């Protein structure tokens, strides 16, 4: 009984004192929106297929499971220029302890641009909340070694190392209680890992890769990362609301990420009610600049719809308290609000697929889709800036705030992924799919920021 009372207190505490805001009207897609895109997802068992269609870009993604022996691919074609790119991913490991993913991104000529090695440990169950643990995940350590080719076709070399700790109720319900550390030019810190294909230099490749994770933890204690994103723990995170993050550069505090929840009964596309769905603003402060995303959502709508406005922090309050949402559409479209760059309209969700049996309905998979459209006159640099600012939240922060992939039920609104497709679709033709930063790998580099000195 005591646990129930405490839980109710936490919910009330999280829902009060947050203020209120005018609820967004559940409007249809904007007239004449740019880059209208439909993403369709279907997952049956361990096999997932994602397709994305717009007038400027087509995308197909497929994967088989997530453990050792699984594989995935991603193929993108820019329809107006017929330029394409390919991503291939394979998983391997010792089957019992963990698995390692090797990802390769190729240009239109089939030349390797980027390679990544990702290693993560199984879930742990240690944390005790209120005398009991709800299948808690403590430290789901993840390490990413990123390799970039000096030019397409040449052997990639180690460029950046990323280390992440994911904490939460389960591997899918991450509260981002860990940290996201980035080391640039890490060759001296990770000797033996500087060249792509390093695993071929040992008779025990699995052990060599997993040793890099231990090395990252050791370096974290002695060498300040080039960039680190750390969670400020808050009791409100227990109901799925991220409180804030701090950004450190070479050990010095240089910025923060603040989250505001005003629409308590709001719901972003493919997110849950009350928790992440109630998010109304993200503010990313870095040195002397402040970038914001206002999240405008209807209250208690059965159809999750949101307008995401990318802007300077100084205009966020005015945008969120506008007297007419339809007028706001026109103002953004005609660039009449100084400090507002563009907006993204999104609508949809991923739901369960069930089958009727003699014992009742049985879940056999998930399926659904999300629609996206851009309001305004943004260019490639605007999309890059928006994604870069979201990346300063780190992978854990993006998951916890609801901006992660829209590929499973309430996994996220998919805005981060949509921004990545816009970067590809608007890239200069000489760079599109051929240059790092505009290659197909940008779709998979969630929360992997380019460090700004």
Q: What is the DSSP letter of 442?
A: G
Q: What is the pLDDT of residue 364?
A: 85
**pLDDT-derived band of residue 240, with 50, 70 and 90 as boundaries?**
low
pLDDT top residue among 180 and 49: 49
Task: Say what percent of the chain tops pLDDT 90.
Answer: 56
pLDDT one-digit tens code per residue, 143-196 = 999 999 999 989 999 999 999 887 655 555 555 457 889 999 899 999 989 999
Q: State if pTM tops 0.85.
A: yes
Dihedrals phi, psi of 396, to nearest 5 degrees: -65, -40
pLDDT one-digit tens code per residue, 287-333 = 889 999 999 988 777 778 999 999 999 999 999 988 787 789 999 99
**Are 451 and 184 in contact, with CB atoms under 8 Å apart?**
yes
User: Strand 57-64 to strand 47-53: parallel, antiparallel, or no bridges (unpaired)?
Assistant: antiparallel
Number of H helices, E strands in the chain: 7, 18
Q: What is the pLDDT of residue 167?
A: 65
**pLDDT-derived band of residue 453, with 50, 70 and 90 as boundaries?**
very low
**pLDDT-derived band of residue 96, with 50, 70 and 90 as boundaries?**
low
**What does the alpha-carbon distance between residue 33 and residue 344 come to, in Å, rounded to a whole number?**
9
Q: What is the pLDDT of residue 10?
A: 38
**Are 246 and 225 in contact, with CB atoms under 8 Å apart?**
no
- E strand or H helix at 395, and its extent? helix 394-401
pLDDT top residue among 201 and 251: 251
Q: What residues pair up with 362 in beta bridges, in sequence order?
A: 355
Spell out the long-range contacts of 115-119 with Cβ–Cβ below 8 A and sequence spacing 24 or more. Answer: 115/146, 115/147, 115/156, 115/196, 116/144, 116/145, 116/146, 116/147, 116/441, 116/444, 117/144, 117/145, 117/147, 117/199, 117/209, 118/142, 118/143, 118/144, 118/145, 119/143, 119/209, 119/210, 119/212, 119/213
pLDDT one-digit tens code per residue, 347-393 = 999 998 888 887 778 888 999 999 999 999 999 999 999 999 999 99
- Sequence spans of domains, the chain: 304-410
Q: What is the pLDDT of residue 98?
A: 66
């Amino acid at each position: 009984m005591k646990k129930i009372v405490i839980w109710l207190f936490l919910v009330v505490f999280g829902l009060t004192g947050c203020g209120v805001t005018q609820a967004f009207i559940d409007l249809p897609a904007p007239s004449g929106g740019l880059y209208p895109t439909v993403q369709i997802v279907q997952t049956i068992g361990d096999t997932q297929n994602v397709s994305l269609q717009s007038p400027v870009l087509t995308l197909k993604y497929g994967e088989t499971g997530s453990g050792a022996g699984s594989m995935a691919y991603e193929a993108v074609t820019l329809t107006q220029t017929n330029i394409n790119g390919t991503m291939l991913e394979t998983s391997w490991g010792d089957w019992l302890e963990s698995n390692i993913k090797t990802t390769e991104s190729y240009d239109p000529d089939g030349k390797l641009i980027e390679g990544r090695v990702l290693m993560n440990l199984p879930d742990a169950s240690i944390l005790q909340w209120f005398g009991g643990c709800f299948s808690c995940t403590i430290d789901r350590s993840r390490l990413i070694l990123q390799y970039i080719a000096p030019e397409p076709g040449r052997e990639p070399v180690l460029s950046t190392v990323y280390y992440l700790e994911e904490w939460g109720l389960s591997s899918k319900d991450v509260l981002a209680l860990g940290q996201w550390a980035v080391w640039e030019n890490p060759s001296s810190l990770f000797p033996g890992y500087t060249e792509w294909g390093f695993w071929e230099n040992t008779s025990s490749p699995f052990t060599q890769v997993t040793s890099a994770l231990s090395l990252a933890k050791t370096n974290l204690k002695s060498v300040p990362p080039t960039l680190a994103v750390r969670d400020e723990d808050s009791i409100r995170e227990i109901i799925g609301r991220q409180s804030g993050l701090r950004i450190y550069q070479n050990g010095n505090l240089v910025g923060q990420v603040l989250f505001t929840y005003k629409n308590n009964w709001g719901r972003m596309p493919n997110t849950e009610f009350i928790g992440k769905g109630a998010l109304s603003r993200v503010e990313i402060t870095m040195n002397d600049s402040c970038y914001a995303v206002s999240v405008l959502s209807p209250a208690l709508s059965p159809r999750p719809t949101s307008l995401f406005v990318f802007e300077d922090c100084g205009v966020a309050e005015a945008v969120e308290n506008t007297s007419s949402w339809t007028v706001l559409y026109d103002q953004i479209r005609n660039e009449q609000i100084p400090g507002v760059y563009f907006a993204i309209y999104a609508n949809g969700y991923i739901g369960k697929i069930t089958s009727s049996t003699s014992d009742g309905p049985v879940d056999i998979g998930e399926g659904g889709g999300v629609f996206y459209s851009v309001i305004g006159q943004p260019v490639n640099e605007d999309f890059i800036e928006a994604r870069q600012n979201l990346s300063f939240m780190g992978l854990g922060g993006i998951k916890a705030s609801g901006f992660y992939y829209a590929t499973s039920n309430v996994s996220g609104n998919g805005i981060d992924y949509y921004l990545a497709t816009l970067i590809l679709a608007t890239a200069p033709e000489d760079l599109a799919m051929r240059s790092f930063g505009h290659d197909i790998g940008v779709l998979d580099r969630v929360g992997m920021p380019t460090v700004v000195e």
